[in-house]
Amino acid sequence: MRGCVRPSRLIALGLAFALAGVTARADTAPARVVSINLCTDQLAMMLAAPEQLVSISDLAADPHSSAMAQEARGYRINHGGAEEVYLLDPDLVLAGAYSDPATVAMLRRVGLRVVQFDTARSLADTRDHIARMAEVLDREEAGAALISRFDARLDALRSADTRHSAALYHPNGYSLGAGTLSDGILRAAGLMNVARSLGLRGGGTVALERLVMAAPDLLIRAAPLPGASRSEAVMSHPALTALITETANMRITSPDWICGTPHVLDAVETLVTAREGLE
Amino acid sequence: MTLLSLNDLSVRLRGRAILTGVTLDVTEGEFIGLIGPNGAGKTTLMRAALGLLPHEGTSSLAALPPAARGRAAAWMPQARDIAWPVTVETLVALGRTPHLGGWQGIGAADRTHVDAALDTMGIEGLRHRTATRLSGGEQAMALIARALAQETPLLMADEPIAGLDPANQIATMQVFARLAAEGRAVIASLHDLGLAARHCTRLILLGDGSVAADGPPADVLTPENLARNFHVSAHYATTPHGPVFQPLEVIR
Amino acid sequence: MRPLALTLSALVAVLFVVSLTVGPAGIGARDGLAALILGGDGPEPLVMREIRLPRALLGVMIGASLGLSGAALQGYLRNPLAEPGLIGVSGSAALGAVLAIHTGLAAATTLALPMAALAGAGTGVLLILMLAGPRGGSITLILAGIAISALAASLTSLVLNLSPNPYAASEIVFWMMGSLADRSMTHVWLALPLMLAGGAALLTLGRGLDALTLGEDAAEAMGLRLARVRLTLVLGTAAMVGAAVAVAGAIGFVGLVVPHLLRPLVGARPSRILWASVLGGAAMVLAADIAVRLVLPERDLKLGVLTAIVGAPLFLHLIYKTRGAQA
């Protein structure tokens, strides 16, 4: 197992230096870790030693975004502002590649070590992020164990069956194509991603007409969001409603799909069950 | 037949009394020149008589419902608005509006009236020209033609001949006089006392919001009236060519 | 006038059919029309019936509404620079609609959304008429309109800013620029009664607007009830523009450009421009909506962008010409 991990560890190290800028690598395990990104929040919660993780972002406590909203209650919440983070006196800050650049720059300027994690674009990225997080937190054994559980579960769920197609459809007609985590989840569950077959790379809009013409076997939509918006109006378009009655359709719990954490396998499992129900 | 009857007509604007207790009748056959110094209330009198201004007292015209009023009197305001670049023919035809019912357009009868109006004012040649591109005087002629096309028993005009050349001024006054002779009535406010003396059958002199004099031109254009209301002296003579009137000096 | 009516009607008919056949689904023109007419189940009839048809219908309805209300406003205000967007009606209608959506009122009953947009439009029109008066001069009118548009836009931004929904921030683009993408027959049925009522009201104003060529005084003396004309104008414009904005967001310049283009062709008579603008407006919006789907289909180009690209230079040209005439 350790042999399998090594190459990705090197890649993770390289990433750490490339993305985090030049700061001296801590020789001892970080004692006070603050996370200001939803995905690093969740990974840190899973891997950190007791008392190591001092604070996580408010998104981690939001059940609409976070798969670990329950666990998040036990932590102190921060809102990602540089001043707030600095006053928590951390020796390591975990952020996303797209966290507010002004905030990240400010934190580095006051002498804090900030490690940024990129967005996961595949299941492989997810494994790499687990490994890197374990290494950054100096919790390599916990990391290894988590990865081996991840691999085992994925092997059990993975299917080569591609007879059925699925489409993700979000407000404003947003869908996710090749090179996204959602795409990886669909393919791991043995479903063909309609957006990918229509040529979409990354995230983007798919015209309702093309969705209808593609006639997916499974239509996957997210739960409606708080407040109201006009963007969600397309979700109740009659053409989409007609599609829903003709196909099997399901709502997903978005939190599992957003971040590259072991929770993506929960999403894969839900899809596998749905796919098997299509037979 | 009385075409207009005013009884104790008064108008107050912003606390000031513009018009007080005007009582008069207009019968068919009269060409009335409404004269007076600037600010005497000539425009106010005509607009109040038409019901376009809130007033006290009564006006037989203002008491009519709007549609009937449009068929009873034609009004040519002092501001010569022509909002859109329509042809003169279209402009004059607007005078037929009170006679059109429901969704009707202009009919053959209406066209006859339009043609007659253009002919009377001598602007047949301007029929297809764009009204907004005419000279000020030509526009005035076209707007008078519009009032004529309306074919109403009473025609009221606010300074209709201002800005016209002498020939057109005289011609227009003659048109009005002829209308009166045919059994209609015309009320026109004027500053040219000479033309008023020569063509009008009756003059109404307004001074400080009330009627200062009312009667044939010779009775109204007395030196006392001229001095008191216009602060001018004038030469007024009856000649073989008809009355001649020329203001001379300012009296203070 | 006859040949113009026929030409415009034919143009609208052609553009309507073209609009039905344009779209990302890649359905051939003949197949698409056959699927629409013959009906049936399956993806093609579904796309044609539920996505393309409402879009084409709304193009006609919204274009007609904007054209007609623009022509009526210009006729009444005796100002060729007036249009519903310029005088803040679209912005106010959008504010009403946004308030209805984000307070949850729109979800309560189906009619709440168009009614709220209507209320917003009515308030906006009343405000501008009060501020600028019927003949307040072009400058006063335009300034008052800019002020009301700005106020409505800032309040709309405020509502969206305070919304807990993550999509709220991007929706400002829709309300400011307009779009017909993914509209359904529900929207058609929602807007149609209001547009028909408003349109019927505005079309009765023809004779009155003609008479107003002579100015208010002369028109009133000829028997025109000015107060009634004003009220009909306000209610009719609010109904048509309110419904249009509720469904498609704010689409600018149609009400300004169409009457202006058609004025020389109908001898500048306001009553004729009313009818011509119904057809001309429909043609313009249909053409713009077709262009939106052909020019940059993947980039979700907004309808208002296209109408603005045509309209803004034309508007500048209008101002330049007016300035030149007054000089």
- Domain hosting C110: range is 2-326
Q: Are residues A10 and A139 in the same domain?
A: yes
Q: Look over chain A and give the mean of its residue pLDDT values, rounded to a whole number.
A: 86
Residues contacting B241, CB < 8 A, separation 6+: none
Contact check, Cβ <8 Å, B84/C211: no
What percent of the residues of chain C are helix, what percent strand, and what percent coil, each to the nearest 5?
A: 80, 0, 20
Domain end call among A101, A120, A154: A154
Q: Are residues A125 and A202 in the same domain?
A: no
**What b/e sequence results for C36-46 when a residue is b if at least 16 CB atoms lie within 10 Å of its CB, and e otherwise?**
beeeeeebbbb
Contact check, Cβ <8 Å, B74/C221: yes
Task: Tell me the pLDDT of chain B (252 aa) as tens digits.
Answer: 899 999 999 999 888 899 999 999 999 999 999 999 998 999 999 999 999 999 999 999 999 999 999 999 999 999 999 999 999 999 999 999 999 987 778 889 999 999 999 999 999 999 999 999 999 999 999 999 999 999 999 999 999 999 899 999 999 999 999 999 999 999 999 999 999 999 999 999 999 889 999 999 999 999 999 999 999 999 999 999 889 999 999 998
CA distance A248 to C199: 44
Q: CATH number for the domain including C237? A: 1.10.3470.10
User: Looking at beta carbons, which residues of chain B come within 8 Å of C203?
Assistant: none
Q: Are residues A102 and A201 in the same domain?
A: no
Q: Is C182 on the interface with A (CB under 8 A)?
A: yes
Residues contacting A220, CB < 8 A, separation 6+: A166, A167, A168, A169, A249, A250, A251, A252, A271
Domain count for chain C: 1
**What are the φ and ψ backbone dihedral angles of B204, each rounded to 5 degrees?**
-115, 115
Q: Are residues A226 and A260 in the same domain?
A: yes
**Around Cβ A198, how many Cβ atoms within 10 Å?**
18
Tell me which chain A residue has its CA closest to the CA of residue C44.
A213
Q: Are residues A150 and A246 in the same domain?
A: no
Out of C78, C207, C217, the one facing B83 most closely (by C-beta) is C78
Write out the two tokens for B237.
């003579």
Residue A248 pLDDT > 90:
no
Q: What confidence tier does A1 reach under pLDDT thresholds 50, 70, 90?
A: very low
Q: Are residues A61 and A133 in the same domain?
A: yes
Contact check, Cβ <8 Å, C182/A173: yes
List residues of A whose CB lies inside 8 A of any C CB.
Answer: 171-173, 204-205, 207-210, 212-213, 215, 225-234, 237-239, 242-243
A181 within a domain of the structure (yes/no) = yes
User: Looking at beta carbons, which residues of chain C come within 8 Å of B73?
Assistant: 221
Q: What confidence tier does A21 reach under pLDDT thresholds 50, 70, 90?
A: very low
Q: Are residues A103 and A168 in the same domain?
A: no
Residue A17 pLDDT > 60:
no
Residues contacting B129, CB < 8 A, separation 6+: B87, B88
Instruction: Give the minimum alpha-carbon distance from C88 to chain B in angstroms, rounded to a whole number.
Output: 23
Which pTM was predicted? 0.83
Domain count for chain A: 2
Q: Are residues A139 and A40 in the same domain?
A: yes
Q: Are residues A147 and A81 in the same domain?
A: yes
Does an interface of 3+ CB pairs under 8 Å exist between A and B? no
pLDDT at A156: 93
Write out the two tokens for A140.
């390599």
If you count residue pairs, one on A and one on C, with CB atoms under 8 Å apart, how many are there?
A: 85
For chain C, state the CA radius of gyration.
20
A159 within a domain of the structure (yes/no) = no
CA distance C132 to B133: 27
Out of C24, C25, C46, the one facing A242 most closely (by C-beta) is C46
- Domain hosting A223: range is 164-277
pLDDT at A18: 54
Q: Are residues A176 and A242 in the same domain?
A: yes
CA distance A4 to C2: 83
Give the per-residue SS3 of C88-144. CHHHHHHHHHHHHHHCCHHHHCCCHHHHHHHHHHHHHHHHHHHHHCCCCCHHHHHHH
pLDDT in tens, A23-36: 444 557 899 999 99
Instruction: Give the minimum alpha-carbon distance from A187 to chain C in angstroms, rounded to a whole number.
Output: 25
Q: Is B170 on the interface with C (CB under 8 A)?
A: no
The SS3 of residue B172 is helix
CA distance A88 to A107: 12
pLDDT at C271: 94
CA distance C258 to C310: 11
**Residues of chain C numbered 215-274 and touching chain A (CB < 8 Å):** none
Domain end call among A119, A154, A189: A154
Q: Are residues A149 and A214 in the same domain?
A: no
Task: Tell me the pLDDT of chain C (327 aa) as tens digits.
Answer: 689 999 999 999 999 999 999 988 878 888 888 888 888 877 888 888 888 999 999 999 999 999 999 999 999 988 888 888 877 889 999 999 999 988 888 877 778 888 899 999 999 988 888 887 665 566 777 788 889 999 999 999 999 888 877 787 778 888 888 889 888 898 899 899 999 999 999 999 999 999 999 998 999 999 999 888 988 988 899 899 999 999 999 898 899 989 988 998 998 999 999 999 999 999 999 999 999 989 877 777 889 889 988 888 877 887 787 676 654
Domain end call among A134, A154, A174: A154
pLDDT at A171: 87
Q: Is C298 on the interface with A (CB under 8 A)?
A: yes
Contact check, Cβ <8 Å, B83/C213: yes
Contact check, Cβ <8 Å, C165/A228: yes
All structural domains of chain B, each given as residue ranges with its CATH number in brackets, are 2-79+153-250 (3.40.50.300)
CB A221 within 8 A of CB A249: yes
Write out the two tokens for B145.
């033609």
CA distance A166 to A177: 11
Q: Tell me the CA distances in angstroms from C81 to A11, C239, C261, one per residue in order.
A: 64, 21, 12
Contact check, Cβ <8 Å, C163/A229: yes
CA distance B244 to B234: 10
Residue C178 burial (C-beta neighbours within 10 Å; 0-12, 13-18, 19+): buried
User: Looking at beta carbons, which residues of chain B come within 8 Å of C138?
Assistant: none
Going by the DSSP 8-state scheme, the letter that residue C224 receives in this structure is -
Residue A5 pLDDT > 60:
no
Write out the two tokens for C136.
């307040």
Instruction: Give the minimum alpha-carbon distance from A243 to chain C in angstroms, rounded to a whole number.
Output: 9
**Most distant CA atoms of chain A, gap in Å:** 60
**Around Cβ C323, how many Cβ atoms within 10 Å?**
10
pLDDT at C35: 86
Q: Are residues A11 and A52 in the same domain?
A: yes
Side by side, which strands form the sheet with B202-207?
Answer: B73-76, B154-158, B185-189, B31-35, B202-207, B210-215
pLDDT at C30: 86
User: Looking at beta carbons, which residues of chain A come within 8 Å of C43?
Assistant: 212-213, 215
Q: CATH number for the domain including A147? A: 3.40.50.1980
Q: Are strands A174-176 and A203-205 parallel, antiparallel or unpaired?
A: antiparallel
pLDDT in tens, A132-155: 999 999 999 999 999 999 999 999
pLDDT at C213: 95
